[in-house]
Amino acid sequence: MRRHLKDQAVSILREGRDMTLASLCEDGAPHAVVVSYASEGLRIYFGCAADSRKALTLGRDNRAAATVTLPYGSWSEIRGVSLMGRARRIDDMSEIDRVGRLLLAKFPQAGEVVAEPYQSVRLFEFAPTEISVLDYAKGFGHLEHAVVASEDLTVGNTTV
């Protein structure tokens, strides 16, 4: 992946707070919801209720798509990213703790809402396999697309 494109996508993910996440229902119908997230590089982390439709659909079929659009005042400021990839439920307790801290650092109020996080919340990692970066500053509807390789999912010298 071209470095400038990865840097743009990472910047948008870092600045954003909410994304629309689409998964597939059992009958193949799309299911889209808005979720708050935290990110490390191109990897995105989010939580949801253990019995939510989102958790159930991703548990059955891990294919997903997501979009993040940053706030803007005029169309020439529109920036966003669309991603396709796979979500995986995080089950390892050390990883749950790490991702939980990452989410709480971005959303401290979450600790007040979720009383028993290990029982009522499922954490997921979304790893994109394709991205498209939207940047209207480069022209109306300007979009750059890239396939995400495994080395693109690393932060620094380590894979997260």
The enclosing domain of 127 has a CATH number of: 2.30.110.10
* DSSP per-residue string spanning 79-109: EEEEEEEEEEE---HHHHHHHHHHHHHH-TT
Q: What average pLDDT does the segment 70-76 reach?
A: 95
**What total of structural domains would you count in the chain?**
1
Q: Note the pLDDT of residue 110.
A: 76
How far apart are the C-alpha atoms of 52 and 69, rounded to whole Å? 24
What's the predicted TM-score (pTM) here? 0.90
Q: Note the pLDDT of residue 115.
A: 54
- For 106-153, write each residue's pLDDT tens digit: 998 876 665 555 567 899 999 999 999 999 999 999 999 999 999 999
- For 90-114, write each residue's pLDDT tens digit: 999 999 989 989 999 999 887 666 5
Domain that holds residue 46: 3-154
Please give the radius of gyration of the chain, using alpha carbons only, rounded to the nearest integer. 16
